[in-house]
Structures are given as C-alpha cells and as structure tokens.
Amino acid sequence: MMKWLALGSAILTWPLISFGAFVRLKGAGLACPDWPLCYGQLIPPPGYEIALEVGHRFVATLLGMLIVLMVILAFSRPHYREYRNLSLVCLVMVLIQGILGGLTVTMLLNPYIVTGHLIGGNLTFALLVYFAWKTFHLNKCPRTFSWVRWSSWSPTTRKIAGMALILTIILISGGKNSTTYSGYSCSAFPGCHSGAPLSIAIPAPDGSPNVPEAFVGQFMPNHFNEWIHMLHRFFAVFGGTWLMFMAWQLRKGSPLPGIRYVGSAILLLIPLEVSVGVVNALYRIPVPVSALHTAVAATLVGLIAYALSESVLLSSDSESASTEQMTARPARAGVAA
C-alpha cells in the first residue's frame, strides 16, 4: 500500500505546482483574504476566482492527508520502518508548504514568500518522486544510501546532483521573475526592449503594460525588474545549455536504462521550456503559456529526481556487491592454502 500512496502523492504534486501558478496568474491568489477559511467561512461564497483558490487549497490538503497516512503506516507497520525518516521529512515539507501558503495570503503575495512556496513545492515533488522510486525498488537496495557520505556517491550520482543544483538556480531565478511580475518588463528577445538589435518583438496586446518611449531600442535592461527578468534569461539559456550537455553524457554513458531515458527526455524538454519562455515574454505572460512554463519546469525536477534516485540506489547495490566480492576473495584464498 505504501508504494501506491507514495506514487499517488508524487503524481498529485505535479499538477498542484502548475495549478498554484495558474491561480496566482489569474489574480485569484487573494480571492480569499484569510486563511485557512475563506471570508471566515468553511464553505466559501460562490465565485470563479474563489473556486480557484479554494480548489488549490483542497488539493494541497488532500496531498497533506496522503502524506500523514504514509507516516502512520511507516510507524505502525514494522515492514515499513525503512520509510520512517523519509516520510517524516515529507511531512515536515508539506507542513512548511502549508505555512507558506497561509503567509502568501496574509502577507499579500509577498514575492519572497511566494518564491519560497514555489521552490518548496518543487522540492516536495522531488522528495516524493524519490520516495515512490524507493518503495518500488527497496528489495534491490539492501543497504540504505548515505546522503551525508560524499565518498559513497558514484560519479553518475555527483553529475546528476550537479544538474539538480543548476536547475535549482534556474528555478529560483524564475520564481523571483514570476512573483515580482518582472516578465512584463521586457517585450523582446533576446534583447529587452522592442527595436533592440538582433531582437524580435510582438506588438503588446491590449491591457499589457506599455514600455516607456525612452527604453525602445535598448538591448540591456534599465531598472530592477528588467534586470531580474534578464538574469532569469541568462540562467535559463546558459544553465539549460549545460543541462543539455550533461543530459547528453547521461544518455550516451550511463549503464542504467532509466537514466538514459531521462537524459533523452531532458534533451527534448529544455528546448521546449526555453521556447515556451520566449513566447511567454513576447506575448506578455499569457496565463496558459505561463502555467505550461511552470509545468515543464516541474517535469524537469521530477526527471532529475528520478535519475538521482536511480543512480543513488543502484550505485549502493553495486558498492555492496563489490564489497562482498572483495571480502570473499581472502576467504577463498585461505581455504585454498
């Protein structure tokens, strides 16, 4: 039962991340001005934006209940004791997410809180992917991998951990760009403003912020929000290129089929994510495109979490097997003597 709870929790978290972005982009993040109730009521008043906000809270609560059930199983069933620490970590993460979700409302969409909420959601997703993978492969892993023992990490594990770090930096910059609404600041690509050299731009749709006349034709940003947006582009393009290079190495050199498949998927998703980001900027943050941008990023998080799980747990098996072989050789030599 544990494996299906873990898998269901991971699957539920993926749309929850992009759904949260959709709620905020539709202007529904403050549709309920209080938390955890809505206008002081358990059953909220009708309204589209209120339904979006309450729906997001409901799905998040359902996820929390699944994780609580996983903790109960881990501590009540002896054969699930292997999952006790990991289930507690997931529970702590979802509690922190609940607190950040409440602060998002009570602190009126503070950019730092909202960015932390977004990053925390992706981290929770990664943990649940690892949890789910472990439940399906525990019998193949007689010895638990030590995260704090760097020497036990295989070269593949270290490489994927580096990819996770790069993706985290991109996510933080993207979260800051989104929560400060800096995506509206630059209307061209790769330059910031329309008319910039070697840049393309599309006429702004009605209702989008106008670019000051003095900024037209400028490639580089001028004010704080423009710098936030352009820095996200920098991290996305150069970090994404490096991720593709690392993914190509995984695809060609990993002995594990699962990791090779992840490498191939990353090679496809990075160009898609960059393209969606460009469309997002040129068309001034259309809600479906921006939600898709968040969903693809979460997919990359899940893929790298899966690859890291695969490399960590299987390298632990390999290490155990090699150790057993080395200890068996002297014994055989003694018998032969």
CA angle 269, 275, 280 (to 5 degrees): 120
Residue 67 falls inside a structural domain: yes
Residue 176 falls inside a structural domain: yes
Residue 334 falls inside a structural domain: no
Name the residue among 62, 76, 49 with its Cα closest to residue 8.
Answer: 62
d(CA 173, CA 109): 17
Do 248 and 304 fall into the same domain? yes
User: What pLDDT is attached to residue 223?
Assistant: 85
d(CA 162, CA 310): 15
- How many domains, in total, are found in the chain? 2
With cut-offs at 50, 70 and 90, classify the pLDDT of residue 200: confident
pLDDT at 324 over 80: no
Do 187 and 129 fall into the same domain? no
Predicted TM-score (pTM) above 0.85: yes
Residue 303 falls inside a structural domain: yes
pLDDT in tens, 118-177: 999 999 999 999 999 999 887 666 455 566 666 777 888 899 999 999 999 999 999 999
User: What pLDDT is attached to residue 320?
Assistant: 44
Expressed as residue numbers, the domain containing 225 is: 152-321
pLDDT in tens, 56-68: 999 999 999 999 9
User: What pLDDT is attached to residue 218?
Assistant: 65
Do 187 and 62 fall into the same domain? no
Do 29 and 66 fall into the same domain? yes
Do 135 and 201 fall into the same domain? no
Do 63 and 167 fall into the same domain? no
Do 165 and 117 fall into the same domain? no
Name the residue among 128, 134, 123 with its Cα closest to residue 96.
Answer: 123
User: What pLDDT is attached to residue 329?
Assistant: 43
Do 130 and 158 fall into the same domain? no
Do 179 and 110 fall into the same domain? no
Do 66 and 10 fall into the same domain? yes
Do 110 and 163 fall into the same domain? no
Residue 145 falls inside a structural domain: no
Q: Is 149 exposed, middle or buried (0-12, 13-18, 19+ CB in 10 A)?
A: exposed
Residue 87 falls inside a structural domain: yes
Residue 331 falls inside a structural domain: no
